[in-house]
Amino acid sequence: MKAKIKVYGEIDDRALAQIQRCSAEADYAVLCADHHVGYSMPIGGAVAYKNFVSPSGVGFDIACGNKAVMTDIEAKDVDIKNVMDEIIRRISFGIGRINNEPVDHPVLDEIAKADFTPQKKMAKLASEQLGTVGSGNHYVDLFADEQGRLWVGVHFGSRGFGHRTAMGFLALAQKLDFDSKPKNANSMDAPPTLLDVKSELGKDYIQAMELAGKYAYAGRDMAVSKVLEILGAKSLYEVHNNHNFAWLEEHFGQKYWVVRKGCTPAFPRQQSFIGSTMGSTSYIIEGVDSGDSKDSLYSTIHGAGRVMSRTRAAGKRKWRHGKLVSVSRGEINFKRVKEEMRQKGIELRGGGADEAPEVYKNLNEVLNYHQNTIKILHRLKPIGVAMAGEDVYDPYKD
């Protein structure tokens, strides 16, 4: 049976080819309006398998997701500049970064006692990186809603723990050792890696994925708690979701393993935080019950959706022995972007040309394609943005 594929928004032909390839063994698939090309499976895609789970579909950043918290204080009463400085000082941003402060969490005990031995061996890494944010489009932000209330929003996933878990299972699927480098892992056009859910490898992956998911949620909880501590604020209301996972769900009267990559579950009354670009409005949304929702496998976007590659936006930089030896100029003038953020009253820490608003679709337009499947509950205007990049404070650089 050929999979039924529901597509939202303007079609990216290469992403469509990816979802078609990934759904060869599936009954249903979806491309949300923020879709674009990813490794093997497109970002913004969902595939419903009867008997398979897909490590390549879930991707490297297992359980990457968003958490937003409404605080008990108003934005106008906060010194945003000083708070953002403190966020950058106390929370680590960037690839491979470890915590600036000691951490403890029950999930670390679970990892130390994990049934899947390779994850147990990553206990030290997990402890060092819990609550750190990583690079790319991952962030810790402050927002003001329509009533002037201050919100905290974060976006990141399972860090090195999740990445090594994903790479390990891609290797095992190729009959290699867990610590071996899998072939074609970084290929956009690689066929999907499918594991039978009844096989030992499939069962191990599901268990390992779920533990990586717990770790990602714990990390976001920890980062938000640290920001609330900096603010001296309390949480009044929280929304927490992820968009890189495989869920066992019922659709059209049957059970399926729904693999979503950069794609947010949006069942009726399920709420989610949808982050925008560093300079635009983000949203708290809620799924609704409709025929269109059913056809979407109750899925929605996870963000605006990239339209420009990182290299095209920022150019290439090559370093040798700590010195910059070659540069190719990108299309984005980040100095201008920073000035635009300043004019909007946004305190920006970090970031780079590859995360400028111009490299993404317009979130309002993207959401409009899904208007029959969700409703907007809150609009969040950014007032402070912290992410990895050229201006991030590095306590180790001296």
pLDDT in tens, 248-268: 999 999 999 999 999 999 999
- DSSP labels, 201-235: HHHHHHHHHHHHHHHHHHHHHHHHHHHHHHHT--E
Q: How far is Cα 198 from Cα 51, in angstroms, rounded to an integer? A: 8
At 11, is the secondary structure helix, strand, or coil?
coil
* Spatial distance between the Cα atoms of 153 and 172, rounded to a whole number of angstroms: 36
Instruction: Say how far residue 205 (Cα) sits from the centre of its chain.
Output: 20
The pair phi, psi for residue 62, each rounded to 5°, is: -55, 130
What is the structure's pLDDT at 316? 83
pLDDT in tens, 236-246: 999 999 999 99
Domain range for 304 is: 4-389
The single-letter DSSP state of residue 357 is G
362 falls within a domain:
yes
- Residue 168 sits at φ, ψ, to 5 deg, of -65, -45
Give the count of domains, the chain. 1
Structure tokens at 38: 């990813």
Number of helices (H), then strands (E), belonging to the chain: the values are 12, 19
Q: How confident is the model at residue 390 (pLDDT cuts 50, 70, 90)?
A: low
Q: Would residue 394 count as lying in a domain? A: no
In a domain, 327, yes or no: yes
CATH number of domain containing 58: 3.90.1860.10
Look at residue 326 in the predicted model and tell me its pLDDT: 66
Each residue of 297-343: pLDDT tens digit?
999 999 999 999 888 998 887 777 767 666 788 899 999 999 999 99
Between 3-12, 103-112, 310-319, 345-354, the lowest mean confidence (pLDDT) is in 310-319
Give pLDDT, residue 392.
Answer: 46
Give the position of tokens 């990445």. Answer: 163
Comparing 39-48, 92-101, 278-287, 359-368, which segment has the lowest mean pLDDT?
92-101
Query: Is 398 a member of any domain?
Result: no
Within a domain: 329: yes
β-pair partners for 220: none
Report yes or no on 380 lying in a domain: yes
pLDDT reading at 92 higher than 80: yes
Say how far apart CA 70 and CA 203 lie, in whole Å: 38
Any domain includes 169: yes
At 110 the pLDDT is 97
Residue 397 is assigned to a structural domain of this protein: no
- Residue 323's pLDDT is what? 72
* pTM metric for this prediction: 0.94
Give the per-residue pLDDT at 375.
97
247 near 53, Cβ under 8 Å?
Answer: no
Q: Tens digits of per-residue pLDDT, 197-209?
A: 999 999 999 999 9
Segment 100-113 shows an average pLDDT of 89
Percent of the chain residues topping a pLDDT of 70: 95
